Amino acid sequence: MRLFLAHFCIILFVSCYNPERKCEDFKTGTFEYEAIIGTEILKTTFVRNDSIEIDYFRGKADTSSIRWINNCEYILRKLNPKSMADEKAIHMKILTTEKNTYTFEYNIVGQTKKERGTARRVN
């Protein structure tokens, strides 16, 4: 009985935990995102306002439009796509927020495979 009660309390405590999501705090600003590609850590800096995001990667800038679905989700679409892959929209979803960082999930619209990352505010 004691073991059951302890197990029940742990499940109750964990199930009541809701991660912080102050998505409005991250709708605009300058952010950095690092990803491991092969054996390299590559950094992207992006500046986002309410309707435009400019990504800076390897010395090049790329501009995308933003269409907000709700306070925590938006669709990115490149304004000047250079390939068929660039024409595909990306669904972004902020999962959690903490101080100056947020964890997000993204995927190409229409595809089920999702990736995750963490962005950090730099301004």
pLDDT score at 17: 52
- Along the 123 residues of the chain, how does pLDDT read in single tens digits? 555 444 444 554 555 555 678 999 999 999 999 988 888 889 999 999 989 999 999 999 999 999 999 999 999 999 999 999 899 999 999 999 999 999 999 999 999 999 999 999 997
> In this structure, is residue 2 part of a structural domain?
no
pLDDT score at 115: 93
- Tokens coding 107: 């995927």
> Domain tally for the chain?
1
> In this structure, is residue 1 part of a structural domain?
no
Q: Indicate the Cα dihedral angle 90, 74, 45, 52, nearest 10°.
A: 100
Domain range for 90:
20-121
pLDDT score at 50: 86
> In this structure, is residue 11 part of a structural domain?
no
pLDDT score at 38: 86
> pLDDT (tens digit, 9 = 90+) per residue, 83-115?
998 999 999 999 999 999 999 999 999 999 999
> In this structure, is residue 68 part of a structural domain?
yes
> In this structure, is residue 25 part of a structural domain?
yes
What's the rounded Cα separation, in Å, for the pair 68 and 72?
Answer: 8
> In this structure, is residue 7 part of a structural domain?
no
Model pTM greater than 0.75? Answer: yes
CATH number of the domain encompassing residue 47: 2.40.128.490
